[in-house]
Structure 1
Amino acid sequence: MKPPRSPALLHPERIHPALWRGSQLAQGRQATLSTGYTELDRELPGGGWPLGALVELMPCRPGIGEVQLLRPALQRLEPCRRIVLVDPPHVPDIACWQRWRLQERRLLWVCPATAADGLWAVEQILRHQACAAVLLWAGHIRSPALRRLQWLAQGSDTLCALFRPVEAAHQPSSAPLRLQLAPAPQGLSLTIVKRHGPACPHPIVLSFGGMRSRSDAASSHAALDQPLPAHAQPGRPVPELVG
């Protein structure tokens, strides 16, 4: 008669929170924040956006709703802590943020002179845990820089989102969660490129239609961004967003 297997061998995922089976979503002790979308929470380890980890979002083009995807999570963050936007492709529309009930005094817009300056700014934010969320728009990033961002994020409780071109999905990354974004009627279609768990065989389609505020409904669409005005100067000192 064979001796009975120990519980640890039957359930290796119980040995340590960092262990997980390839056939199941990881359920570690890492803090998460609900995305605000039940269908997306269901597919993410821990049931939401990880806090203290790098999240890569790769839209097929800027302005398809990638920021609105984070809207419910941003609204759930501590109201006394800042939300930082680093090098967004367009000037943030403060009126839109106000409609989202996010106070403009919480928003900080960083306009780095170079991509390296942008990475440095995010590193300082993560190192000092100065903000509740940091959103960085970046192009090509070398693997050592990604590993450094992930390492610094792990020592924080920050929601750290990195927006990269869709071509970056074919490149290796240390980010534990990576999603490709494509437009869909009234929302987005998400493809999970990487997660701690089995591959997600189908895209996740989210609708923003039911999330529009009364003031949003007054127009045919609610712009998240506005083109950079002619008088704005790239590389100017870091300003706070004002109404």
Structure 2
Amino acid sequence: MFSRPEAHPNAAVDALLGGAGQWAAVWRASQLGLVPQRVWPSGWSALDAVLPGGGWPGHGLTEWLCSPPGAAEWRLLAPLLPTLTAPLALVAPPQVPHPLGWRVAGWSPRHLLWVQASSPAERLWATEQLLRANATGAVVAWLPEVRATQLRRLQVLAAAHEGPVLVCRPAGAAQASSPAPLRLRLRPLPDWGIEVDLVKRKGPPLTQALRLTALPDALAAVLPARLRPGARPLPSGADHVVVRPVVSLVAH
């Protein structure tokens, strides 16, 4: 007689999930979920501490919800640029990219792929083609009129894209459901700040929004002390500040 080997207690669950390697997709609601793929640090330790995996995830869709468009996205995007080893793709950004500013931030604009698309159909088509190609380090697309069915298709395509895939939508879209596993609401603050509220993540809800300081290093070197974050307010009666330009003479 041969004894029947005992089945592993999780064998049935493993078979349902497609193997033990899929356990990373399961998490307790009271804890941050694990991200089995690579993540890219955001550049702010306080934000990385509340993001599943500790940064912007690859192989998935992330939503940035902000109004007006372009008010806070560039500040949050800047620290990601130097970490990319492949081109960055921008689809229909609300402002013209500023190559000199990005070069000062430590990233070469030669690695930029800028797609100008005006209609919602063109924006969606360009984003889908970039995800299918999987040839960029990150994709950032402004899709203010994207529908839920289109987002589900983007989420499927993003699962095969190695780098972060960021879809920027109006802040009012936070009230609608979305297949994106990670959603953040951004709000620009005075003193070069950004308020970040995690609308959706793999884990418990964030009880308090984060306040990040996004003052560029190049600007911090020349900004007067009275205009830096945390500076004391102007005395009563001083309703304006005069900033005199610095003129440098360069011999040719």
Under TM normalisation by the shorter chain, which class is it? 0.7 to 0.9
The answer for the alignment partner of 2:127 in structure 1 is 122
The whole-number CA distance in structure 1 between the counterparts of 2:112 and 2:75 is: 15
Q: For 1:161 and 1:84, how far apart are their aligned partners in 2?
A: 10
Aligned with residue 162 of structure 1, among 158, 163, 167: 167
Change (3 A) 1:163 1:15: closer
Tell me which residue corresponds to 1:229: none
CA distance in 2, matches of 1:101, 1:91: 19
**CA-CA distance at 1:14 after TM superposition:** 9.3
Counterpart in the other structure of 2:30:
23
**Corresponding residue for 1:200?**
206
Residue-by-residue CA offset, 1:183-225 (whole Å, 9 max, x unaligned): 223220100000011111100111123x4226x644689xxxx
Amino acid at match of 1:203: A
Is 2:70 the partner of 1:63? yes
SS of 2:24's partner is: coil
Map of 1:34 onto structure 2: 41
Runs of 5+ unmatched residues, structure 2: 1-7, 15-19, 228-252
Q: Secondary structure at the match of 2:157?
A: helix
Q: Deviations over 1:59-101 (max 9, x none)?
A: 13233331221211221111xx211111011111121111112
- Give the stretch that moved more between structures: 129-138 or 59-68: 59-68
Instruction: Report whether the alignment pairs 1:181 with 2:186.
Output: yes
Identity over aligned pairs, percent: 38
1:220-239 equivalence runs, <5 A? none
One-letter amino acid of the structure 2 residue matched with residue 202 of structure 1: Q
Work out whether 1:85 is the aligned partner of 2:90.
Answer: yes
Higher relative contact order (CA 8 A, sep 6+): 1
36 and 143 in structure 1: CA distance in 2 versus 1, 3 angstrom threshold? same
The TM-score, its normalising length taken from structure 1, stands at 0.79
The superposition leaves residues 143-171 of structure 1 with CA deviations (integer Å, 9 ceiling, x where unpaired) of 11101111101011021111100010011
Give the alignment partner of residue 213 of structure 1, picking from 206, 211, 218. 218
Alpha-carbon distance in structure 2 between the residues aligned to 1:100 and 1:89: 20
Confirm whether residue 140 of structure 1 aligns to residue 156 of structure 2. Answer: no
RMSD: 2.2
Which residue in 1 is equivalent to 2:50? 43
Question: What SS does structure 1 have at the residue aligned with 2:137?
Answer: strand
Equivalent position to 1:112, from 106, 112, 117: 117
Q: Distance in 2 between matches of 1:75 and 1:175?
A: 25
Equivalences, count:
209
Cα distance change, pair 96–15 in 1 and its aligned pair in 2 (3 A)? closer
After the TM superposition, which of the residue ranges 188-197 and 29-38 deviates more from structure 2?
A: 29-38
**CA offset at residue 23 of structure 1?**
0.4
Which protein is bigger by CA-based radius of gyration?
2
| 1:108-133 residue CA offsets vs partner (Å, 9 max, x unmatched) | 11111411111111111111111111
Q: Distance in 1 between matches of 2:70 and 2:60?
A: 24
Q: TM-score, normalized by length of structure 2?
A: 0.77
Post-superposition, which runs of at least 4 consecutive aligned residues in structure 1 deviate over 3 A? 12-15, 216-221
